Amino acid sequence: MNINRLAMNRRRLLVGAGAGALAAIATRPAAAALRLEITQGNPQPMPIALPEFVAGAPAEAEVARNVTSIISGNLQRSGLFAPINPAAFTEKITNSDTVPRFADWRVINAQALVTGRITKQPDGRLKAEFRLWDVFAGQQLDGKQYFTTTDNSRRIAHIISDAIYQTLTGEKGYFDSRIVFVDETGPKERRIKRLAIMDQDGVGTRYLTRGDDLVLTPRFNPSSQEITYMSYGQSDPRVYLLNIETGQREIVGNFPGMTFAPRFSADGQRIIMSLQQGANSNLFVMDLRSKQTTRLTDTPAIDTGPCYSPDGKYICFESDRGGSQQIYVMPATGGPAQRISFGEGNHSTPVWSPRGDFIAFTGQAKGQFSIGVLKPDGSGERLLTSGYHNEGPTFAPNGRVLMFFRDLGQGPSLFTIDVTGRNELKIPTPSLASDPAWSPLLS
């Protein structure tokens, strides 16, 4: 069955807009019949079929193959989907505008099916289309098309992955996002550290600094293409701001000593950080527009690792004011701080989930370093992974996955784990890697 004439016209109209929804081919409106519950304890991965996207012309075959493969990889790594081996497919999709033979996909137990097409446009851009099908209901659940330049096909694959994830789980995805991290080379006592950025799947690493200066703890601005990080430059170690679009770099604030452990507020307008003052470290915030700085804590202690709640009302941080490193929560304007971590051992590097439901941390007990989560009220502490040595969690934009670094003695590497504690995966990097920070969704 060919797509009807009206739908064709609508799609043509959408070309100028750059992206749009593909009209459903099925006559009935799609019911949200196929839904993966990801809040359950141990969901079975959903079998999904991803036949290779159709190439509009032989020249687009490689891009079509790559886009399909990236989508399949994303969905598989999420742990929520089980892409079916293409060798089992009996229907060959040659036209993504036709309704698939659902019986052929039911027989291999595919619950969801994704078809798509990559076509080069007369102006040189790529058009990427996909349709997501509920195989058992025989309905189209989603259909969209995107236009982009040819060098941008990875992003289209990530965006399509997010659309599939969102339709099937009811939650936003996290695939169209990036990781900034510290690339490490050279011997441990003379480690060269460079800021690097890559796609969330570990592909496309690019370097943002050359390695002349020691750089640590990069963090994304949630609302723009900026990174804040600590660097040992020509003078004292300081918190810096780097615009990754222009390459411009500046020192944050005019503080009379070492600043470290920076993080942006959720609106991207402020940077919160530690300032060393003699033997103590206290929390300060700088408004990026007015450049005004405000002291938030004044204690004879090490207050560091500050992080805003997503609504901007609270700050969590670590402090040894009670004798050992523990997590505290206080109002964003300062004031009384409540200790919230009471589990075994020390708790540090707190980071608030973008969903607001958890604070992740590095736990230290009995010589082991764990990645854990607890609720902002301190209840429900759970360790997700333990060993020597795990450190520095960062949340995916949807709050479902954490990335952290692990050093078993051979140098650090990056890993992800679901907040449920399942699905631990190593993320490939060109060399040793530490201090990951997850960007927000790019689109």
Partner 1 sequence: MIEIGNILRGVRIAAVLGMGLAISACANQVADSNTPGTSAAGAATPGSQQDFVVNVGDRVFFESDSTELTATSRATLDKQAQWLTAHGQYRFTVEGHADERGTREYNIALGARRSQAARDYLISRGIQASRMKTISYGKERPVAVCNDISCWSQNRRAVTVLNAGS
Residue of 262, 274, 255, 252 whose CA lies nearest to 229: 262
How far apart CA 27 and CA 375 sit, in angstroms, is 46
Residue from the set 6, 17, 59, 87 that interacts with partner 1 by CB under 8 A:
17
* Structure letter (DSSP) for residue 288: T
Residue among 98 and 152 whose Cβ is closer to partner 1: 152
- Residue 278 engages partner 1 in binding (rule: CB under 8 A): yes
| Cα–Cα separations (whole angstroms), residue 4 to 9, 115, 143, 247 | 9, 18, 15, 49
The footprint of partner 1 on residues 187-206 (CB under 8 A) is 187-191, 193, 197, 206
How far apart CA 81 and CA 140 sit, in angstroms, is 18
The minimum distance between CB 384 and partner 1, in angstroms, equals 16
- Residue 391 engages partner 1 in binding (rule: CB under 8 A): yes
For residue 364, list its beta bridge partners: 346, 369
Residue among 178 and 270 whose Cβ is closer to partner 1: 178
- Residue 226 engages partner 1 in binding (rule: CB under 8 A): no
- Residue 236 engages partner 1 in binding (rule: CB under 8 A): yes
Ordered DSSP codes for 57-113: SGGGHHHHHHHHHHHHHHHHHTTSEEEPPGGG--S----TTS---HHHHHTTT-SEE
Residue among 84 and 359 whose Cβ is closer to partner 1: 359
- Residue 367 engages partner 1 in binding (rule: CB under 8 A): yes
The footprint of partner 1 on residues 396-415 (CB under 8 A) is 407, 409
The footprint of partner 1 on residues 119-178 (CB under 8 A) is 144, 146-149, 151-152, 155-156, 159
Residue from the set 61, 108, 258, 425 that interacts with partner 1 by CB under 8 A:
258
How far apart CA 106 and CA 239 sit, in angstroms, is 56
* Structure letter (DSSP) for residue 166: H
The minimum distance between CB 24 and partner 1, in angstroms, equals 16
Which of these segments, 97-105, 240-248, 352-360, 379-387, binds partner 1 (CB under 8 A)? 240-248
Site string for partner 1, 46-85 (x = CB under 8 A): ----------------------------------------
The minimum distance between CB 348 and partner 1, in angstroms, equals 5
The minimum distance between CB 260 and partner 1, in angstroms, equals 5
| Cα–Cα separations (whole angstroms), residue 406 to 194, 247, 393, 415 | 18, 30, 10, 7
Residue of 111, 117, 7 whose CA lies nearest to 52: 117
- Residue 240 engages partner 1 in binding (rule: CB under 8 A): no
How far apart CA 391 and CA 403 sit, in angstroms, is 10
Using an 8 Å Cβ cutoff, are 96 and 145 in contact?
A: no
- Residue 392 engages partner 1 in binding (rule: CB under 8 A): yes
- Residue 213 engages partner 1 in binding (rule: CB under 8 A): yes
